[in-house]
Structure 1
Amino acid sequence: MTTYVCPRCDVHSPASALTWCCPRCRGPWDLDFTSAPVPRESLASRSNSLWRYAEALPLATEYPHITLGEGRTPLVPLTDTVSAKLDFLMPTLSFKDRGAVMLAELARRLRPRSVLADSSGNAGTAVAAYCARAGLDCSVYVPEGTSPKKLEQIRAHGAHTVVVPGDREATARAARAAADEPGVFYASHVYNPHFLHGTKTYAYELWEDLGGRLPDTLVVPVGNGTLLLGVALAVEELYRHGLIDRRPALVAVQAEAVAPLAAAFHAGADELTGPPGPPSPVRPTLAEGIAIPAPPRAAQILRAVRASGGTFRTVTEDQIRAAQLDLARRGLYVEPTGVACWAAVRAAPERPGTTVVPLCGAGAKTGLAPTS
């Protein structure tokens, strides 16, 4: 197995341990893992899941792997220059399957007493499903106000739900306290870097489907930044191995109501700005999945966007509603969080070249956004 490393403290820990964060700074881990080049010409004969990119994935050297056939989602045009990747067409109806399968595969090998996750819904449903596939006991901490459909889905997979009073940040604090108990594997889509190595397959699929290249711009929703950081990992790997000759710009999107990273980026800060102490309660937003006031990987996210030559955009609640209806009338029923990128593209001047937006979660999970 690979080794965890703290990007701040340079503390190391074996991935076989159940140490979910750096013991010195309590920050998230990175993974000491070096990918090999993926041979595009041989991919057609491989399994039709994200495990086809074995050279780029930790945990890929041991077979068989847990799988529900995740990945390989369609890419469809929205305009002459903008396409959408339909990541809501995953087994649990969100892009979080990309990372959840990696966490469940690691947990399957470690055989902890129990698996614990925290989520506003989609990551929890994905972890619950893949733990069910692996035969692992699972508990998911969710904030009050989580979509009843998402709660129903988590419970249907056999996971125990713990509903935490308060917002997403209160839920994360409760889960981290429970994660310190002996024998618990914290399947955190934020703290465990295996999740990011799963989400990076989003970019590998684009590279494969576009004939060995990437679009000029990748627009990505950002709350905790797990998709954006995975994409940034993939871009650097593909470039380092000579599989692409240029890096696309990363455009990060947040809801205007909860946009700490956008504020820090436009202020020129390397970390989150704002007064010291715990974050203020978040304003309500339709994009609940990215309403994260204090993402633990904030510095990494800001650095990745700047290094790509990209930027941050924010979208209003009205723009989110309009984007959801617009996509539905194009035949694509997507949850409000999942339409944030399309809302941003529609509201801003068109960028030169080609652009891809992810549609991250199915509308059936939440229904249509209510009108104001």
Structure 2
Amino acid sequence: MTVYHCPVDGTRSEITALTWCCPVCRGPWDLDFAPERGVAPNALSGRVDSLWRYEEFLPLAAPPISLGEGRTPLVPLTDSVSAKLDYLMPTLSFKDRGAVMLAELARRLGPDRVVADSTGNAGTSVAAYCARAGLPCTVFVPEGTSPKKTEQIRAHGAHLVTVPGGREATALAARAAADGPGVFYASHVFNPYFLHGTKTYVYELWEDLGGRLPDALAVPVGNGTLLLGAALAVAELHALGLIATRPRLIAVQAEAVSPLAGAFRAGADDLPPADPSDPAAVVSPTLAEGIAIPRPPRARQILAAVRASGGTFLTVSEDHVREAQRDLAARGFYVETTGVACWAAVREGGEAVRGSVVVPLCGAGLKTGMAE
């Protein structure tokens, strides 16, 4: 049976245990899963038009709770840059790719309740899929979360808990609840099933591009769930002989909250130990709220994945976020402020973004409105 394992100390746990983190180091789990065979892109044409068409590559079979997630369009922005419209998902963000995996796993395990924490998009997605699965759900969000996102969470029937303070305080509150009996922690950070959902972003690119990938993938990075999913898919496709070369990973952060970019430029393998007295520990406000994560639990994995790909980190200013959102709207794409970060970076990236590049438009503009 597929089991969790800790990438730090090797601890293992059965999936059925509802153990949301490694009991030794309290770090995130990885999953003992690797696809044993693959399919050619031309063999997929008759399959279901959702991410579940890639069943050979997924640790769960197609579930009854699917909302048709995945298979979002890939459209050109320039001669060398294309955008994948992941805001055209059932809950209007890419988080549906991973949330459907978590909700289906929870449905099979039958917990008393599901708990999630989020700045909004992951929470709305988990709430929707739990509603679809008939699972009671509680979502913790930071104070100041977009009212449009909290309205969506409530609309799906989830119990909403607003936590004073920022993203870190919200995560701590959710993790405390997750330690209770009979609770499934639908964590898009700690549970690796989420990454096996987000990796389908790259499988879709591989299919749409005729069995190849672009020279570079630009990905917004807060907790790194899309980037790590992308790295996972690239490794699987390469191991199966389905691609010959691997794309560079270009990780994008907001200048205001860019701990990983700083660590990367310093040549560090991980973030430095937390120091609350350090002025840098204070999280500055940013329009890219979805990636404003000061201490991502998978920091070491993110940094290693970017380096292994030959990629880099880019940061964007608040003015560049505003300009990118307006520019995309003028081109016909209404995208939330976090979701425009990669386009903002690629427009300014120079040599780092040479060759063909794909950027994800991760969330719909209806979730946050236009930046002022």
Residue 18, structure 1, aligned to residue 18, structure 2: yes
TM-score of the superposed pair, with normalisation by structure 2: 0.97
Q: How many Å separate the matches in 2 of 1:249 and 1:69?
A: 29
> What's 1:344 paired with?
345
The amino acid across from 2:23 in the alignment is: P
Per the alignment, residue 367 of structure 1 pairs with: 369
Deviations 1:4-38 (A, max 9, x none): 00000100001111000000000000000111333
- The amino acid of 1:213's aligned partner reads R
Deviations 1:157-196 (A, max 9, x none): 0000000000011100100011000000000000000000
Report % sequence identity.
Answer: 74
Give structure 1 regions of 4+ aligned residues with deviation exceeding 4 angstroms: none
Q: Gaps (5+ residues) in structure 2?
A: none
Aligned amino acid, residue 360 of structure 1: C
What's 2:48 paired with? Answer: 47
Q: Indicate whether 1:189 and 2:188 are aligned.
A: yes
Q: How does 1:162-311 map to 2 (within 5 A)?
A: 162-273=161-272, 276=275, 280-311=281-312
CA distance, structure 2, for counterparts of residue 330 and residue 123 of structure 1: 27
Residue 117 of structure 1 corresponds to 116
How far apart are 1:342 and its partner, in Å? 0.2
Task: Provide, for residues 81-101 of structure 1, a one-character-per-residue CA deviation record: whole Å limited to 9, x for no partner.
Answer: 000000000000000000000
| One-letter amino acid matched to 2:156 | H
2:323 matches 1:313: no
Structure 1 Cα separation of the partners of residues 129 and 242 of structure 2 = 31
Distance in 2 of aligned mates of 1:121 and 1:28: 21
Instruction: Identify the residue that residue 332 of structure 1 maps to in structure 2.
Output: 333
Q: Deviations over 1:278-328 (max 9, x none)?
A: 882310000000000000000000000000000000000000000000000
> 2:342 and 2:42 mapped to 1: Cα distance?
32
| 8 A Cα contact 1:88 1:362, kept in partner | yes
Distance 1:285 1:226 in 2: 19
Would the aligned equivalents of 1:116 and 1:184 in 2 still touch at CA under 8 Å? yes
Q: CA deviation at 1:51?
A: 0.9
Structure 1 residue 276: deviation in Å? 3.6
Aligned amino acid, residue 71 of structure 2: R
* Structure 1 range deviating more: 10-19 or 31-40: 31-40
Contact 1:37 1:238 in 2 (8 A): no
Q: What pairs with 1:88-103 in structure 2 (closer than 5 Å)?
A: 88-103=87-102
Q: Name 2:36's counterpart in structure 1.
A: 36
C-alpha separation in 2, matches of 1:218 and 1:142: 29
Secondary structure of the equivalent of 1:112?
coil
Aligned to 2:5: 5
Shift of 1:2: 1.2
Question: Could you tell me how far apart the structure 1 residues matched to 2:310 and 2:50 are?
Answer: 31
Distance in 1 (CA, whole Å) between partners of 2:137 and 2:300 is 30
TM-score, structure 1 normalization: 0.97
For the residue of structure 1 that corresponds to 2:238, the secondary structure is: helix
Tell which deviates more after alignment, 264-273 or 37-46. Answer: 37-46
Q: Is the 8 Å Cα contact of residues 88 and 359 (structure 1) preserved in structure 2? A: yes
Q: CA deviation at 1:139?
A: 0.4
Deviations 1:172-222 (Å, cap 9, x if unpaired)? 010001100000000000000000000000000000000000000000000
- Residue of structure 2 equivalent to 1:161: 160
Moved more, 350-359 or 187-196: 350-359
Q: Amino acid of the residue matched to residue 38 of structure 1?
A: G
Range that drifts further, 333-342 or 45-54: 45-54
1:353–1:37 distance in 2 versus 1, CA, 3 Å: farther
Report the CA distance between 1:274 and its aligned residue.
6.0
What is the CA-CA distance between 1:46 and the residue it aligns to?
1.0
Alpha-carbon distance between aligned partners in 1 of 2:165 and 2:173, rounded to the nearest angstrom: 11
1:344-365 Cα offsets, whole Å, 9 max, x none, are: 0111215332100000000000
CA distance in 2, matches of 1:37, 1:229: 21
Shift of 1:59: 1.3
- Structure-2 separation of matches of 1:46 and 1:285: 41
CA distance in structure 2 between the aligned counterparts of 1:228 and 1:38, rounded to whole angstroms = 22
User: Secondary structure at 2:16's aligned position in 1?
Assistant: coil
Q: Is the 8 A contact 1:100 1:127 kept in 2?
A: yes
Give the alignment's Cα RMSD to 1 decimal. Answer: 1.2
